[in-house]
Structure 1
Amino acid sequence: MSGRTTVLAFDFGASSGRAVRAVYDGRSFAYEEIHRFENIPRQEGGSLRWDFGMLADQVRRGIEKAGSFDSVGFDTWGVDFGLLGEDGRLLEDPVHYRDARTEGILDRALRRMDAAALYAETGTQLLPFNTLFQLLALQEERPELLARAKTLLFMPDLFVYQLCGNAVCERSIASTSQMLTLLDGRWNRRVLQAFGVPEGLLLPPVPSGTVAGSLPGGGAKVIAVAGHDTQCAVAALPVGEEDAAFLSCGTWSLLGCELDRPLLSEKSMRLGLSNELGADGKIHYLKNIIGLWLIQESRRAWRAKGEEYSYADLERLALEAPPLRSFIDPDDPVFTPPGDLPARVRDYCERTGQPVPQSVGEVMRCLYESLALKYRYAMEQLEAATGKRFSTLHILGGGTRDGLLCRMTADSIGRRVVAGPVEATALGNILIQLVALGALPSLGAGRRMIAQAETLREYRPVSSAAWDAAYPRYTKLLESTGAETA
């Protein structure tokens, strides 16, 4: 393919979405965000749901703003899905992974297959909102809906289907489901049978970069990029250092490394690590951690009370608060639901016998430091499982804008941190499309191009001694509240 190539990337996060248009001239590409919108779930019939009709309308608006382009691709968060009926229509809006239907589901799920066996089959961290467990909840509560369903499509695949009319199941998003065999990229029949999931409900997974179809009228190609946003972000990782770990930092934080084969041991399961398939077929071995959701939800809670703070305000107030006094485990289930998160932080600190943060700055300091310490904890788990020692942590995505979090992370882990690109997810989406169109020879070529073009910031640890002194308190807190240790 020669000349100029124009692609359109839709990147859906758990709180917002955007369309990014990129033009590649054969040597480099320029990109710009042309459309942004909120992604606000809604309660309907007792369930927390994504408003797919609204999101589809935002896709149409983004396409209208983009003008002409050669291809379009979609990435979203993992695990969530929609069900199509016999007539090919969406039966109802997809349920949000934070919905209460999977509360307590793991106890019931593990009666069907024990944890070690399930992990050995799929390599996926056992999280209650995984697709498999959502389907189990659906079997228990609404079997009649499941009986009407002909096809399950994950969120990015729903957008592909809505645009071109062809249903596909992209491999990376499928690997978040707890139903895929990572060694061959196929559905795991043993798991499906144990949980009563009809195999006919699931389409055969296809590689990232598969051309699913075209827009009506023979227009732009619709490409099934790496549908999981984390895999798109890592596709744009602008370094190839063997001793570098990555942290995709957004609403969720996913800290991991690239491997050639999955790690499926019981030790890996106990450490809460997960294997996912990357855009290039490599294994992304990672830890799922609640991320900037803590800050986003706290800001929403203060706004609801009439207190308006910018993210810069919150960072400044955190800096003014006393350091390393109180911590939380970001992954404690108490912090998962929407609502008054600062109140839950105070309750948690009181319940665990720590100083209770009162001011906005004290709450923010607690959140920032807890994230930085959890990153250290996760990095140690990653090293314990892989036998590797990582000298660098490469932070990707929206969290790279937060200089305070990046600095605290460098101090906490005692390693070099490289931050950027901010737009890693959209850039990975773009690169996968360019490779699929033949405009780029490989993802590696795209990564090298990004390394040359993007501004990266480096953070070196400057006050690790204080963090080293605080870290045993943090690990003791995790042990006392039931978290596993490395």
Structure 2
Amino acid sequence: MCPNDEEYVLVYDCGSTNIRAVAVDAAGNIKAFSSLPNSPRQQPDGKPGWLIWDMEDIWRKICLVSREVLRVVEPRKIKAATIITWGADGAPVKRDGKLTYPPISWQCPRTKEVADKITEHISAWEIFRITGYQIIPFNTLFKIIWLKKEAPEALREAYTWLMMPGLIAHRLTGAFHIDPTIASTMMAMDLGKRSWSRRMLEIADLDESFFPEWREPGEILGYVTEESGKECGLPSKTPVVVCGHDTQFAIFGSGAKPGEPVLSSGTWEILSIRADTFNPTRKGFEEGLIIEADVEKNLWNPQFLMIASAVIEWVLQNFFRDIDEKRKYEIVISEMEKVPLGSEGLIFIPSFVRESGPLRKYGVMGSILGLALHSSRSQIIRAVFEGLTFQMREALKNLVESLNIRVNCIRVVGGGSRNDLWNQMRADAVKLPVIVPAQREAATLGAALISFVGAGYYESIDEARRSFFTEEKIFYPNYANSEILDKVFEKYLKTLENLKRLYEALE
């Protein structure tokens, strides 16, 4: 079918820091978008630091950004709507969709004790072998176990459990569902079989009947109800297509070939490939690899999950409060450009979530080393970007060794791909070309692509891919810079080894 730029998919791209509505045409071009900030809230009746998501506030923001986009794009031209969100978070609901307990945020510390005790029931290696997941406190299964103990009535009253895409999709359509991309973030799947793991569910004293019907990405889940349509501005009976976890849709929407690494850069960075086998190796386990279900059947996404832009935001909040919010990244990049490679001796270790990523094996916390009275915030922010780049370099090395693959480039997508200085730093650090698609919002693009297929606009994924816009920008390594960064990277690794010994002594 020839692309018709008069028809669109409306993607609700709901992240943990921003909620967006994006209208994408059949050639993969963004026609209109609107965004509002998102963040978890202190639970009113909870202990200090207990963070939850306010679903009514999220729905209100979805409706606001939706209506804003539909002022630009005629609602009748929306071919389908779909939802992608962050992973791990969900909630128990009644038959009418009302929550019996609010969604616990991945940033909430309450499940750490549950995570620490999980190996009394099953080894960490066995968890990885079955689910593809490492033990990370925010995993969904830990939240369910916590609820069993601390709020059992919430599960007793519940009809089922919905992850974040399911909660929003139910609000739009009234239908219950779960898809494999989001379920693979729960640490509850038998990932090789793309279904539930009986053994993992038994640990939480559950069985698969507690969860809703499996639906695959690209299927039509249902249709916008009259009530939700009045609230969000979509015509009733607009098809709602199943999507799911934003990470996998970013990989899918990047245009990567099989075995070609994709770095999805946002609050978290995920370095991943699309693999045709589920192969949880000891090497991958020891290095902190996780594996999730791909958008398409019979494919998997081995990946390293690393904290990224959340660290940059922490630095901006603490060192750059005086700058114009609208120009903050422009100003930061300008300050970075004044500092030579190596940040004049500063070393930044971005282990703000020590249980995840390629630095997990060192067991250290986030650190800034080499500070002196003359150290400037420009040096600090440069060191932060170098530290994050070195984290990615280590992840790439581990990915190659764990999967026994060869790579000749990296694709970078997501918000972190907008920073050309960072892209060049990445290319210089790994000595490989860095490819940035012209349409950098790959998760949104991937969701739109499969929704056009699901709604019948295209007959196949391959046909849709041929029609979507694919222009790219390539950053080639500067080998003079690479030589300097190699020396800084050696210091970075030595710093990690020394910090590891320090933390072992302290603990």
TM-score (norm 1): 0.89
Say which SS state the counterpart of residue 347 (structure 2) adopts. Answer: coil
Q: Is 1:255–2:271 an aligned residue pair? A: yes
Deviation of 1:302 after TM superposition, in Å, equals 4.2
Change in Cα spacing, 1:30 to 1:387, as seen in structure 2 (3 Å) is closer
**Alignment equivalent of 1:49, drawn from 8, 33, 52:** 52
Equivalent pairs counted in the alignment come to: 465
Counterparts of 1:149 and 1:477 in 2: how far apart (Å)? Answer: 49
Deviation of 1:388 after TM superposition, in Å, equals 0.8
Counterparts of 1:424 and 1:403 in 2: how far apart (Å)? Answer: 17
1:77-476 → structure 2 map (5 Å cutoff): 77-217=86-226, 219-225=237-243, 227-240=244-257, 242=258, 244-281=260-297, 282-302=299-319, 305-308=321-324, 310-324=328-342, 325-333=345-353, 348-350=367-369, 354-355=370-371, 358-420=375-437, 421-450=439-468, 452=470, 454-462=471-479, 463-476=481-494
The one-character-per-residue Cα deviations of 1:134-165 (angstroms, maximum 9, x if unpaired) are 22232333233233222111101111001000
Answer with 58-67 or 258-267: which moved more: 58-67
Q: Partner of 1:19 in structure 2? A: 21
Percent of paired sites with the same residue: 26
Change in Cα spacing, 1:251 to 1:29, as seen in structure 2 (3 Å) is closer
Counterparts of 2:270 and 2:87 in 1: how far apart (Å)? Answer: 12
Change in Cα spacing, 1:323 to 1:228, as seen in structure 2 (3 Å) is same
| Structure 1 unaligned regions, length at least 5 | 337-343
Counterparts of 1:188 and 1:334 in 2: how far apart (Å)? Answer: 27
Answer whether contact 2:262 2:271 (CA < 8 A) is retained.
yes
Counterparts of 1:187 and 1:243 in 2: how far apart (Å)? Answer: 26
**Alignment equivalent of 1:5, drawn from 1, 4, 7:** 7
Answer whether contact 2:134 2:288 (CA < 8 A) is retained.
yes
The one-character-per-residue Cα deviations of 1:279-305 (angstroms, maximum 9, x if unpaired) are 1121111000111111123223346x5
Q: Partner of 1:341 in structure 2? A: none
Q: Is 1:61–2:64 an aligned residue pair? A: yes
Counterparts of 1:321 and 1:29 in 2: how far apart (Å)? Answer: 38
Deviation of 1:319 after TM superposition, in Å, equals 2.4
The one-character-per-residue Cα deviations of 1:106-125 (angstroms, maximum 9, x if unpaired) are 32111111101111111113
What amino acid maps onto 2:32 in structure 1?
A: E
Change in Cα spacing, 1:283 to 1:335, as seen in structure 2 (3 Å) is closer
Answer with 384-393 or 79-88: which moved more: 79-88
Answer with 180-189 or 323-332: which moved more: 323-332
| Structure 2 unaligned regions, length at least 5 | 227-235, 357-363, 502-507
- Across the aligned residues of Structure 1 and Structure 2, the Cα RMSD in angstroms comes to 2.5
Counterparts of 1:20 and 1:208 in 2: how far apart (Å)? Answer: 18
Say which SS state the counterpart of residue 384 (structure 1) adopts. Answer: helix
The one-character-per-residue Cα deviations of 1:45-86 (angstroms, maximum 9, x if unpaired) are 332122211111122234434222121001011110022025
Say which SS state the counterpart of residue 456 (structure 1) adopts. Answer: strand
Counterparts of 1:335 and 1:196 in 2: how far apart (Å)? Answer: 26
Deviation of 1:416 after TM superposition, in Å, equals 1.1
Deviation of 1:229 after TM superposition, in Å, equals 0.6
Answer whether contact 1:416 1:461 (CA < 8 A) is retained.
no
Q: Is 1:33–2:36 an aligned residue pair? A: no
Change in Cα spacing, 1:267 to 1:243, as seen in structure 2 (3 Å) is closer
What amino acid maps onto 1:466 in structure 2?
A: I
Answer with 318-327 or 185-194: which moved more: 318-327
Say which SS state the counterpart of residue 12 (structure 2) adopts. Answer: strand
The one-character-per-residue Cα deviations of 1:429-477 (angstroms, maximum 9, x if unpaired) are 110101101212333333343454x443433233111111222222233
Change in Cα spacing, 1:33 to 1:127, as seen in structure 2 (3 Å) is farther
Say which SS state the counterpart of residue 496 (structure 2) adopts. Answer: helix
The one-character-per-residue Cα deviations of 1:218-253 (angstroms, maximum 9, x if unpaired) are 52101111x11111111212242x552110111110
Counterparts of 2:352 and 2:497 in 1: how far apart (Å)? Answer: 12
Say which SS state the counterpart of residue 328 (structure 1) adopts. Answer: strand
Counterparts of 1:355 and 1:298 in 2: how far apart (Å)? Answer: 15
The one-character-per-residue Cα deviations of 1:291-338 (angstroms, maximum 9, x if unpaired) are 1111123223346x54546111111212223432233332343799xx
Counterparts of 1:48 and 1:89 in 2: how far apart (Å)? Answer: 19
Counterparts of 2:467 and 2:475 in 1: how far apart (Å)? Answer: 19
Counterparts of 2:180 and 2:355 in 1: how far apart (Å)? Answer: 30
Answer whether contact 2:250 2:444 (CA < 8 A) is retained.
yes
